[in-house]
Structure 1
């Protein structure tokens, strides 16, 4: 298992698009962090999700998933290693992008956001394993965030990104809801990881 995680981490940091996604999302979150710690938390969560989607989807885009599964026939181990890799990148993104919030004497908010960011990254990985097409998923998430969570739900507790934003402020109920969303994504992801990958 350690070898699979090490391999996935090496692949994640050795591909240029991973670095571009990490730097781009971190820059956007950091820019917003100068104005509002709450907006920074939301952008850090979206960024952790986006980086997880980018890193995970590369296997399907570049057709390397077939080779990975030939080397590691236990597909659930590959899924776990992808989740761990995305979680580490999510922590890095939140930690680096939130320096303005940390310097602005909001250490508790910074700490809770960094601790919750890996959950959103794992959620992003699980969603990507099911959808497998990053542009479809990111486009769908943008529409979901704008309409379902923003306009219809008013960023109230109950949906994943709003729950992340509230959990980042220390709301335990919101964290439990986010964990429930992530747990609900596990069965379809486990089913999907056993699907044929040669046709993607």
Structure 2
């Protein structure tokens, strides 16, 4: 299991697109951090989700997932390794992009966001295991965030990204909602990783 995690982490940091995505998402989150700690938290969560989608989907885009599954026939172990790898990258992204928030004497908000960011990264990995196509997933998330969470739900507690934003401010109930969304994605992702890879 440790070898699979090490392999996923090495692959994630050795591909240029992973670095570009990490830097891009971190820059966007840091930029919004200068204006508002809440905006930084939301964009740090979106960045953690986005980097997880980017890193996980590369296997499907480059058709290397077949080789990974041949090398590691227990597909659930590969999924766990991808979740751990994405959690590490999501944590790094949140920690680096929130320097402005930390310097503005918001240490508690910074700490809670960095602690919740890995959950959003794991959620992103699980969603990618189901959808497999990053542009479809990121486009769908943008529409979901705009319409379902923004306009219809008005960023109230209950849906995943609003729950992340509130959990990053220290709301325990919101964290439970985010964990529930992530837990609900687990069985769907476990089903999805056993699908044929030829699509």
Same fold per TM (> 0.5)?
yes
Q: CA deviation at 1:155?
A: 0.3
1 CA distance for matches of 2:7 and 2:194?
A: 20
Partner of 2:13: 13
Question: Scaled by the length of structure 2, what TM-score is found?
Answer: 1.00
1 CA distance for matches of 2:129 and 2:102?
A: 34
Partner of 1:145: 145
Partner of 2:126: 126
2:64 is the alignment partner of 1:35 = no
List aligned pairs for 1:179-190, cutoff 5 A.
179-190=179-190
- 1:92-124 per-residue CA deviation (whole Å, 9 max, x = no partner) reads 000000000000000000000000000000000
Structure 1 segments unaligned to the other structure (5+ residues): none
Partner of 1:76: 76
The alignment covers a number of residue pairs equal to 199
1 CA distance for matches of 2:41 and 2:181?
A: 18
Q: CA deviation at 1:139?
A: 0.2
2 CA distance for matches of 1:15 and 1:146?
A: 31
List aligned pairs for 1:1-200, cutoff 5 A.
1-197=1-197, 199-200=198-199
1:155 alignment partner, SS class: coil
The CA RMSD over aligned residues, in Å, is 0.4
2:174 alignment partner, SS class: helix
Structure 2 segments unaligned to the other structure (5+ residues): none
Q: CA deviation at 1:9?
A: 0.3
Structure 1 runs of 4+ with >6 Å offset: none
1:143 alignment partner, SS class: helix
1 CA distance for matches of 2:158 and 2:6?
A: 35
